[in-house]
Every structure is written in structure tokens, then in C-alpha cells.
Amino acid sequence: MSSPPARPVPVAFCPCPPLLLPEVARGAAADTGALLAACAAAVGALLAGRPAAVVVVGPGAAGRYGPGDGGDLRGFGVDLEVPLDGAVRPEGRRLPLSLTVGAWLLDCAGYAGARVGAGPEDLAAVVAELPGRTGLLVMGDGSARRGEKAPGFLDPAAAPFDAAVAAALAEGDAGALAALDPAEGERLLAAGVPAWRAVGALLAGRDVDAALLHDDAPFGVGYLVASWTGR
């Protein structure tokens, strides 16, 4: 007896700098406008796939996050609390920055459905537990060593590394994402590598419709935005 066909998996890849939020960006908001518009387009395409739930995965996360959990931007001078799913409870887990920004992007898109957070190492197990069609919001920056004023200063390997990630995102090459070198990603301060690898492994072997929506490094950090549908 043949197994049922796999459900399509809509995916949005977005970076997670706090500067995405206009309240944080302030005077730099003009520099992040195109990036924010690309993220909105990627999230819109994700939600157009009508997922029953959206799993937000990103660096700094571990385990599973759900109703009552939340994050904030107080460390960046903004008194803003962002719930993941429903009101934040005092006993809820605190979201890392990547999931906080992801939840904010879903708020901006008006998404009122179920939301789950996951660490990269936990992504496959979390997705396997969810019924219905699951969408993925994959948060993570490219190398923070793309210029002399970058957080990690300039490394000549940074731009080629991000270019290879951009090519994989543009081509829908899940295998290439899964094969990213975690040690090189850590050396180049490419925080998105663990999440990208996890999604690549999850979608390995599937046909992927892909579009790269943004590829830039305005502050010496690679910001990549893409939209995928795994078939």
C-alpha cells in the first residue's frame, strides 16, 4: 500500500536583526525599508499556503515554545513585549531574539493561527507532532563579517559563504542548505546556519519552488530573504 503524498510545506526565510522593527531602527528605518518589505512578502507567501500552524525556528532557540511564551525588545531600548501565541504568562518561557522577531513578523501579517517555536535541533520532531499543513518561518542572519565595520570585522570568506547560501535559496536546493559547514558558519558569525541546515534536512529529496527576494549586507551582516514551497 503506497503512502499518502507529502503535504506541501510553505517556507519563509528571513533574517532577525532587531533593526527590522521601526521602533528599534528609528533613524536607520530608511536603510531597512527594502528588507522589511521583502520579509513581509515572504511571510505573505507563507501564509498564502494556508498552513494550519506556523513553526518559527531560529538561532538561540532550544526545545519547543508555545502558548504563553514571549519575548521583548527591552535590551534594545524599546519597551515592547511580543507574545508567540496568545497572551504572555508569567511562567512562560522567554523567546530568544530570533523567535521574538519572527513572532513580530507574523503579527504584522495579521496571522491569527497556531504558532509554535522550535530550536534547530528540535525542528523535525516538532513538525512531526503537528497535524495538518505546517508552514515554516526560518529566522537567521548571514555572516556578520561582511565589512570592516561589521560586528566581526571583515573576513574575505564571508561574502562567498553568503553567496553560496543565496544560491541555494534561489535554486531551492535543500541539500545544499543541509550540507552547510557548521564550523565555518560559526567562524564567520553566520547565525542562520543551524536553522538553514535543519530546514534543508527536513526538505531533503523534495522538489522546491523557490524565489530569492533579498540579498544585501547594509551593516556588514548578510541579510537573505527567500520564499519556498516544498512539494
d(CA 143, CA 24): 21
Backbone angles phi, psi at 148, to 5 degrees: -65, -25
Residue 92 falls within a domain, yes or no? yes
Residue 4 falls within a domain, yes or no? no
User: Who contacts 39 (Cβ-Cβ below 8 Å, separation ≥6)?
Assistant: 12, 14, 15, 20, 105, 214, 225
d(CA 49, CA 158): 33
d(CA 173, CA 222): 19
Q: 196: how many CB neighbours lie within 10 A of its CB?
A: 28
Residues β-bridged to residue 54: 115, 135
pLDDT, one tens digit per residue, over 21-61 is 888 877 666 778 999 999 999 999 999 999 999 999 999 99
61: containing domain: 11-230
d(CA 229, CA 231): 6
Handedness of CA 13, 139, 223, 153 (dihedral sign): negative
Residue 5 falls within a domain, yes or no? no
Residue 175 falls within a domain, yes or no? yes
pLDDT band of residue 5 (cuts 50, 70, 90) is: low
Domains held by the chain: number: 1
Q: Are 43 and 139 in contact (CB under 8 A)?
A: no
Residue 214 falls within a domain, yes or no? yes
d(CA 196, CA 185): 11
To the nearest whole percent, how much of the chain has pLDDT over 90? 87
Tell me the CATH number at 84. 3.40.830.10
Inform me whether the pLDDT recorded for 138 exceeds 80.
yes
